[in-house]
Amino acid sequence: MKKAMAAIIIVAIIAPSVVLALTAEKVSLDGTVVSYLPGESITIENQDGTHTFSIAKDAKVIGEITKGVSVVVNAIGNSAVYVAVLGGED
């Protein structure tokens, strides 16, 4: 057990983003874009409410994202790592 804890502590010091990826919840949501600031954030709305994500620096963004289009957002914690347009405005 001590070796495992030591390994986690070393990883946390050397690569904190790896620890975040291991501990943060992975989320995949479909919704309609309410607001989008390229490289900064995206807010979508779906049947569960409104959800805002920061855009990760290495995020893959597919399609032209504008207010009103349907998208899927894959995120780790609150950071979107993949955003893709599913369809045009409703």
Quick check: helix, strand or coil at residue 29?
strand
Is position 6 within any domain? no
17: in domain: no
- Give which of 75, 32, 36, 24 is closest to 50, Cα–Cα: 32
pLDDT tens per residue, range 30-49:
999 999 999 999 999 999 99
Q: What is the pTM of this model?
A: 0.71
Provide the domain count of the chain: 1
**Is 14 a domain residue?**
no
**Per residue in 61-90, pLDDT tens?**
999 999 999 999 999 989 999 999 997 765
Q: Do the beta carbons of residue 41 and residue 48 sit within 8 Å?
A: no
**Separation in Å, CA 87 to CA 4, 21, 67:** 46, 29, 12
Q: What range does the domain containing 74 cover? A: 25-87
Question: Rounded CA gap, 34 and 52, in Å?
Answer: 9
